[in-house]
Amino acid sequence: MVIIDSHFHWWPRSFFENLCKRKGYPRAERNRTGGYRYWRREGEPPRFQLGAEWFDLDRQLEHMDTLGHDVKVVCSIGPLSVHFSDLSAEESYDAAALWNEEMAGAQRGYPGRLWATAAIPMARAESAVQALEHAVNDLGLVGANVPSSIGDDPRIDAEWLEPFYARAAALGVPLLLHPTDAVFPNLLSGYDGALHLTLGRVMEVSVAAGRLILSGIMERYPTLKVIVSHTGGFLPYQAGRLDKNSKAAKLGEAPSVYLKRMYTDTVSPHVPGIRFAVEYFSADHVLYGSDYPCWNPATALQLCEEIGLSAPDLEKVLNGSVRRVLGLRDPHPHAERVPAAPTLTAVGA
């Protein structure tokens, strides 16, 4: 069976080596596990403590080969997407360019096995549009990562960002919406992070998607593709409440109409939750994702198989829908693997 994992994380080692050279925050340093510790701010504990498995793409793909299927992957950023809003305007664009060049190099290096998505510096609309156009038109990346907050600011629906959403819609670029871990960690502190990891991340992506709906962005740009991670957060389960309490937004349709136009993935360790996502959005709008290396892809696949979908719907979830939504194309059968481009040097600070 051919499977495409739409929620797969490979982070370029060269990018983190660059972060290790920064004198200010955000910054990183090597750890004893072959990975890195990453700090967003001075005085805060490390935001990430990452092992070597995040940075060795060959080994990651070898792990996928153990699943007994032909597994292809789509690289996305995940919570690190907030990093590109924490830097100065100039450095954020350069950092995104470095990330995107590395992603494009990996996509060239594994044609038909790996596709990749772009980092976007969201703190300035002009830079966001410029980065988007370069990533898609010049580098051939298949989507763009949108953080669910611009730094600490949760207003991803701010009016000044309208040109970015307009351009994404015009280009047909899918936007991957993922929590940033910047909004709720302090509010939901304690329990060794369990409260935030369990509720905060899902709440954050739900609020972000809700903002795109209630602001009218989804209404004004009917071709805009938004993929809400983690089975759509709380929104499908609370769609009736969303419709009941959102009349002040004065949308042309009930908010749930725009929600159902969105897409989601299967990143939820809960068969009933995944099943409800498919029932709510339809198999045409649900994309298989493992969240690797945060989650075991064998478990992610097993849960999808336990949902009890028909063979056609299971094929859509595991392969067909992500191909259609992201516009994935297999290379010519005689195409040769192209070595990755030389690493760029990002601006330090």
Q: What is the pLDDT of residues 120-163, one digit of tens each?
A: 999 999 999 999 999 999 999 999 999 999 999 999 999 999 99
At 107 the three-state DSSP class reads helix
With beta carbons less than 8 A apart as the criterion, state whether 224 and 269 touch. no
Task: Confirm whether 347 is domain-assigned.
Answer: no
pLDDT in tens, 30-41: 999 999 999 999
pLDDT recorded at residue 227: 98
Whether the Cβ atoms of residue 188 and residue 219 lie closer than 8 Å to each other: no
Query: pLDDT digit string (tens) for 225-267?
Result: 999 999 999 999 999 999 999 999 999 999 999 999 999 999 9
- Which candidate, 180, 177, 100, places its Cα nearest to that of 146? 177
Q: Is the residue at 344 inside a domain?
A: no
Average pLDDT on 66-83 reads 96
Burial 141-172 (b: 16+ CB within 10 A, else e): bbbbbbbbbbbeebebbeeebbebbbbbbeee
Whether residue 124 lies inside any domain: the answer is yes
Q: Which domain holds residue 126?
A: 2-326
Between the alpha carbon of residue 162 and those of residues 85, 255, 283, 297, the distances in Å are 17, 19, 30, 36
Examine residue 338 and state whether it is found in any structural domain, yes or no. no
Domain count, the chain: 1
Torsion of CA 17, 22, 23, 28, to 10 degrees: -50
How far is the C-alpha of 79 from the C-alpha of 133, rounded, in Å? 22
332 falls within a domain: no
Decide if 143 is inside a domain.
yes
Give backbone dihedrals phi and psi of 200, rounded to 5 degrees, phi first. Answer: -60, -45
pLDDT recorded at residue 339: 54
The pTM is what? 0.94
Read out DSSP for 225-243? -EEETTTTTTTTTTHHHHH
Q: What is the pLDDT of residue 342?
A: 44
Residue 275 lies in a domain: yes
Q: Which CATH number does the domain housing residue 296 bear?
A: 3.20.20.140
Strand partners, 146: 177
- Assess if residue 190 is contained within a domain: yes
* Rounded Cα gap, residues 50 and 42, in angstroms: 19
Alpha-carbon distances of 331 from 287, 336, 337, rounded to whole Å? 21, 9, 10
Tens of pLDDT, residue by residue over 172-190, are 999 999 999 999 988 999 9
Q: Under 8 Å CB-to-CB from 332, ≥6 apart: which residues? A: none
In this prediction, residue 343 carries a pLDDT of: 43
Beta carbons of 7 and 229 less than 8 angstroms apart: yes
